[in-house]
Structure 1
Amino acid sequence: MLQASSRLAPELMASLSLKVENLPKNSLAYSNCIYLHPGAVAVLKGSDQAPESGEPRPLLLQVGFHVFLALSHKSVTEGCFALNGLQRRCASLTLNQTVTLNVFQPTAKEAAASLTLTIDLLTKAKPAKPVEVDTDDLAERFKETYMDHIFSQGQVLAMDFEGFKLEVVVTLIENLEETGEESAMMNKLGQVLTPTSMLFAKKGGGSLNLSGSAQSGGGGSTMFNKEFDFVKLGIGGLDEQFNYIFRRAFASRIWPSHVVKSMGINHCRGMLLYGPPGCGKTLIARQIGKALNSHPPKIVNGPEILDKYVGGSEEKIRALFADAEKEQQAQGDASQLHIIILDEMDAICKKRGSGAQGGTGVGDSVVNQLLSKIDGVDALNNILLIGMTNRKDMIDDALLRPGRLELHVEIGLPDLKGRNQILQIHTTPMREAGRCTAEAIEKLPTIAEKSKNFSGAELEGLVRSASSFALSRAIDPKDLR
């Protein structure tokens, strides 16, 4: 027998022990109510205190960690209460199991400010094309249908909307009065009231297309890891460049898709990082995946694209975009960001007609294939192509126009602040291990001033050279004989 939760109102201790049974009618499954024999409802309501307003108060019953709105139905067997299959699964109940139902009185703590709900079609058979759902209409219908209901995080319910049967999962509850401790509770409860707002997201791989303003967004504010730090990732001296990249490439992706659509803009699909060797272009490629909550970046060196077989190079380009195409077809604007990084891009994207790759025309075909994938007829809106090169002048002009690699960021030699930051990064392990003297640490700013025109790679080499002298002083040449 399930034990009642301690979250009952102290003045309401009425309870009944009843057996679980199926719903008397399948149409009742979409109400999210539990149904009792009229005699049981009369007993429980008779013990409830009448509200001061004189209006009838809905009968809410607690079943384990869940609270359901209860209604009477003459077809329910006396001594039983009826639930649908989703309710039994959420509450971990089986048919004919005896359960104690307790009257529950909600307080201000259960008043929900907002609910975030994930939806999908309840039927197993998927339609030929995605079903269009207006989230504004759905939010209004949801509030009308489930007003005064109390939901718990993770609860699953069935809903009938415009002839479609939906499976709705309560993924997040935000209450009006909430502490940090209550926010983290697994059995957190929230009651749907008039001020409660609804946000909807579709299930990954589902068969729905969402429109309207009541969407929770695609990648949204969770795109970046909350605890990432460029210094911890080993990236220094690029603060200005990262601010520019964030504003142009990522700012629009943080907003919900309906906001971006209302402005009539598309996300930035590509950027080109160029500059002298050793200034951090490849380092950014290696570490950018750790800063983003997206799919792991696909990192490809330009020469790896080339293939000895006819059409092989173009096939490799198509394979880079295949996952993004598949996810956009399935999830639309809710698709996560796919990042593709092409290092040494000048090896495969030379200007067409220049006779690259020995005049075979492979280079021209690769460029054409890349152009069609970035901004062709079926352009993708969930990709970010990052190209890197030391020779921007060799890249085909069609790739550099807005809509393709429109963001051009020069990763140049670091300034004084950047050089000091890079030296701090490369000496961090030896400083933390106590292998660096206080005198050497104090002279790092001086070294940064004297290393003007050093690249990041040259500063790293400088630290390695200094450490080699330290290691050699600790070795007796006689020990090497």
Structure 2
Amino acid sequence: MQVLQVSNLPTNRLALTNRVYLNPRTLHAIFTSPESSTYLVSVGGHPYIADAHESVEPGQIALNGLQRRHAQFSLSTRVEVTEFRPDPEAILSSLEISVDLLAKKSTGAKPREIDTDKLAEDVINNYVNQMVQLKQILAMDFEGTKVELTISKLDFLQEGSSSPYGQITGPTEICFRKASKSKLVSLSGSRVSGGSSGGGNSIFLGDFDFEKLGIGGLDAEFNRIFRRAFASRIWPVHIIKQMGITHVRGMLLFGPPGCGKTLIARQIGKILNAREPKIVNGPEILNKFVGGSEEKVRELFADAEKEQREEGDQSMLHIIILDEMDAICKQRGSNSGGGTGVSDSVVNQLLSKIDGVDSLNNILLIGMTNRKDMIDDALLRPGRLELHVEIGLPDKKGRNQILNIHTKNMREANRISAAALANLDMVAEKTKNFSGAEIEGLIKAASSYALTRCVDVKDLSKPPDEKNLILKLEDFERALTDVEPKFGAKSQELKALYRNGFVPYGETFDFLMSTMERLVEQGNWIVTNQVVTFVVIIILTSLFDFQCDPPIKRL
């Protein structure tokens, strides 16, 4: 061990090596029998590679300013210097480094473009076998530019390693991210880490199961949303630039009430590695003061704009969920703002924020509505809310998934009978035209029968019979008479019209029936192995004159 005095480096050029320098005689006194050509020393508990330099006085050790600042040494401080033997657990498998320019003064010029693939090669060549620790700052000359490298993440080859230091080796994988709030550099290449808006591969928070998220019957819709809105965001930024495309910035979820539009929007926010979603109902944006509504729209995008300026392509994704969108985004010129033109101004403000001159690449606007026909056409074009996904009534498979989701807690607590579980498929068959919300209401209605059965209504002072609280199949059958779907034909009313069936009366009737059956079949299209029901409008013209020419009925 040697006690040496901290001094300056002999030349500024040596500051870019991240090494410490000693007089040759001092170095040989520490390493009496060196085992390799690399001299690792501990300087006051901080490990560095040491080199000999004739200009360093005996009894001194030369450190650069970044090393002294990190170790909190001042000039002339006396420190203990010993030989350092690295722990095998300290070998790094990967290393993340944040990048900035060493000179922080902004000149107003474009950010310095840095190829991270070349930078990774230079880091390995310059710092192989060196020891680093979190928040340590290194200075390096990269293609004539002095860059500041800050160690931001260490991943060790041996899992569970508790070493405070990591050793860089040839196989160590190195990735980079732009320093926080830096506007001086722009990173490109395949070694860029983080940033889910620009194509970091960490946009999803691991694997996810739709049923665990409480979503049933929407697998096809989720697959389409993933393909259109998120597939491009998984790829690195430079690949998307090579493809010459931009990310989808907005999507519109539309369909009947109770089918899961709000649910799917909220769950998208949960499964993404993104900023906390901003959820706002359309009418909440309206303000009684002039310009107040437009200001609220600008506030929704303010955080995304700020991060885009500071982080660039490494900005996180910002999600804005706008429910009841038809309340504020009606067709312009329709006088929907009560003569004030507020709705028109809100639409104009949204258009400029989504796809204006300074359009953002780190946002995803999710709009929801029951009335797609009322939304202004300019919002629905590509580049804005270009992805339109209809969230319709679930099919039998979807209804089965929804029933399983809402009976999950009952199954785990053994509060549902085996017969009811075995016949959930039958319940799904009987709930045709039910929305997801109506199926949830059906289960609540069935549960009410089970709860009432275990209560003595004649003497409510008695405690309920918890042991026998079981949801049975007959509870579902009784609940089916309580809850009726809003959509679809009124079966009881229709049955009353043909109690004795149909009596064919000739060729005209047969032709009409075959035509109607064909039209019904046309309303069911098979899309990706799933039956999708569309509304078909039929116009019948009467053969008789009822003072109309011709009389028309819409079915």
TM-score, normalised via structure 2 length: 0.74
Question: Does 1:210 find its partner at 2:195?
Answer: no
Shift of residue 174, structure 1, vs aligned partner: 5.9
> What letter is aligned with 2:204?
F
> In the alignment, which residue of structure 1 is the partner of 2:166?
189
> In the alignment, which residue of structure 2 is the partner of 1:39?
25
Question: Tell me, what secondary structure is at the counterpart of 1:478?
Answer: coil
Does the CA contact (< 8 Å) of 1:20 and 1:99 recur in 2? no
Distance 1:478 1:82, change over 3 A: farther
Provide the C-alpha distance between the structure 1 equivalents of 2:68 and 2:237, rounded to a whole number of angstroms.
36
Distance 1:100 1:448, change over 3 A: farther
Shift of residue 415, structure 1, vs aligned partner: 1.5
> In the alignment, which residue of structure 1 is the partner of 2:152?
171
Does the CA contact (< 8 Å) of 2:138 and 2:150 recur in 1? yes
Greater RCO, CA 8 A, separation 6+: 1
Equivalent residue in structure 1 for 2:418, among 438, 451, 470: 438
Question: Tell me, what secondary structure is at the counterpart of 2:263?
Answer: helix
> What letter is aligned with 1:18?
V
Provide the C-alpha distance between the structure 2 equivalents of 1:233 and 1:65, rounded to a whole number of angstroms.
49
Shift of residue 129, structure 1, vs aligned partner: 5.4
> In the alignment, which residue of structure 2 is the partner of 1:295?
275
> In the alignment, which residue of structure 1 is the partner of 2:176?
200
Question: Tell me, what secondary structure is at the counterpart of 2:404?
Answer: helix
Question: Does 1:18 find its partner at 2:15?
Answer: no
Equivalent residue in structure 2 for 1:49, among 16, 32, 35: 35
> In the alignment, which residue of structure 1 is the partner of 2:139?
158
Shift of residue 99, structure 1, vs aligned partner: 3.1
Does the CA contact (< 8 Å) of 1:112 and 1:173 recur in 2? yes
Q: Deviations over 1:51-95 (max 9, x none)?
A: xxxxxx232235688642111234545444343454356567787
Question: What does 1:346-365 correspond to in 2, within 5 Å?
Answer: 346-365=326-345
Question: Tell me, what secondary structure is at the counterpart of 1:134?
Answer: strand
> In the alignment, which residue of structure 1 is the partner of 2:527?
none
Q: Deviations over 1:374-420 (max 9, x none)?
A: 11111111111111111111111111111111111111111222111
Distance 1:18 1:135, change over 3 A: farther
> What letter is aligned with 2:164?
N
Provide the C-alpha distance between the structure 1 equivalents of 2:436 and 2:445, rounded to a whole number of angstroms.
14
Between 251-260 and 126-135, the greater mean CA deviation after superposition: 126-135
Provide the C-alpha distance between the structure 1 equivalents of 2:74 and 2:427, rounded to a whole number of angstroms.
73
Provide the C-alpha distance between the structure 1 equivalents of 2:134 and 2:283, rounded to a whole number of angstroms.
50
> In the alignment, which residue of structure 2 is the partner of 1:477?
457
Distance 1:23 1:236, change over 3 A: farther
Equivalent residue in structure 1 for 2:302, among 322, 341, 344: 322
Shift of residue 111, structure 1, vs aligned partner: 6.7
Distance 1:478 1:130, change over 3 A: farther
Between 57-66 and 218-227, the greater mean CA deviation after superposition: 57-66
Provide the C-alpha distance between the structure 2 equivalents of 1:222 and 1:138, rounded to a whole number of angstroms.
22
Provide the C-alpha distance between the structure 1 equivalents of 2:297 and 2:368, rounded to a whole number of angstroms.
16
Between 342-351 and 17-26, the greater mean CA deviation after superposition: 17-26
Question: Tell me, what secondary structure is at the counterpart of 1:368?
Answer: helix
Question: What does 1:122-271 correspond to in 2, within 5 Å?
Answer: 122=102, 125=105, 128=108, 131-136=111-116, 137-152=118-133, 154-161=135-142, 165-173=146-154, 178-182=157-161, 185-187=162-164, 189-193=166-170, 198-213=174-189, 214-216=191-193, 218-219=195-196, 220-226=200-206, 228-271=208-251
Which structure 2 segments of 5+ residues have no match?
462-555
Provide the C-alpha distance between the structure 1 equivalents of 2:422 and 2:174, rounded to a whole number of angstroms.
56
> What letter is aligned with 1:58?
T
Distance 1:425 1:22, change over 3 A: farther
Which structure 1 segments of 5+ residues have no match?
1-15, 51-56
Question: Tell me, what secondary structure is at the counterpart of 2:290?
Answer: coil
Does the CA contact (< 8 Å) of 2:42 and 2:83 recur in 1? yes
Between 378-387 and 23-32, the greater mean CA deviation after superposition: 23-32
Provide the C-alpha distance between the structure 2 equivalents of 1:135 and 1:172, rounded to a whole number of angstroms.
20
Shift of residue 282, structure 1, vs aligned partner: 0.7
> In the alignment, which residue of structure 2 is the partner of 1:339?
319
Equivalent residue in structure 2 for 1:421, among 401, 424, 447: 401
RMSD: 2.9
Shift of residue 199, structure 1, vs aligned partner: 2.5
Does the CA contact (< 8 Å) of 2:9 and 2:63 recur in 1? no
- Paired residues in the alignment total 454
Q: Percent identity?
A: 56
> In the alignment, which residue of structure 1 is the partner of 2:376?
396
Question: Does 1:458 find its partner at 2:435?
Answer: no
> What letter is aligned with 2:391?
I
Provide the C-alpha distance between the structure 1 equivalents of 2:86 and 2:213, rounded to a whole number of angstroms.
51
